Structure 1
């Protein structure tokens, strides 16, 4: 895999993680909305879309309702503990992605600088 294609995959990875963070934040914002159901992004399916695109990595963020979560009497099923844990997880994933981009760019810079 060339440096450019790995950077494109990393770009797609960061987009997937960012979109998932937005969905989690939306869930948290709707914790008091009657009838609201928790939504999430199928991370593996989104990454498969990113990996299978040619050129610029793209994917359609398909939100899906999470089934099986207990509902409150108002019909809302957002669990703040679950969402907080997922938000922490996606923040770590994003930080990892940024570090990988930095590493790839450093490798590319070194190759250009040293003429290798």
Structure 2
């Protein structure tokens, strides 16, 4: 694919990080929901799936339930501090990947203009 040669793994990485951001945000939003089970996925496994499938179905089979360090009386498995830390780390990694892609696009644009 043309996108693979221009952006390498970074395009798929951005997509997987965006999907993980949604999963983590859902966990945080449901921190007080009785019986809610926190979920996440292994970034490397999801990225490998995204690369193989051209970006389709990256979460299929990769989404797993978190095992809490301390169980809640209401059955909720969200540990808010853990989720917030994972969300912040993922957000920084997302921004880093996005910055790389923006730099690559600027480089391609300059090349096309003959600069």
Q: 1:10–1:97: 8 Å Cα contact kept in structure 2?
A: yes
Q: 1:41–1:64: 8 Å Cα contact kept in structure 2?
A: yes
Number of aligned residue pairs: give it: 112
- What's the counterpart of residue 72 of structure 1? 72
Cα offset for 1:75?
Answer: 1.1
- What's the counterpart of residue 109 of structure 1? 109
Seen in structure 2, the aligned counterparts of structure 1 residues 20 and 36 have a Cα distance that, compared at 3 Å, is same
Q: CA RMSD in A?
A: 2.1
In the superposition, the TM-score normalised over structure 1's length comes to 0.83
Gaps of 5+ in 2: none
Q: 2:68–2:79: 8 Å Cα contact kept in structure 1?
A: no
In the superposition, the TM-score normalised over structure 2's length comes to 0.83
Cα offset for 1:8?
Answer: 5.8
Seen in structure 2, the aligned counterparts of structure 1 residues 3 and 109 have a Cα distance that, compared at 3 Å, is farther
Structure 1 residues 59-94: Cα deviation after superposition (integer angstroms, max 9, x where no partner)? 431321012432111111211101110111111011
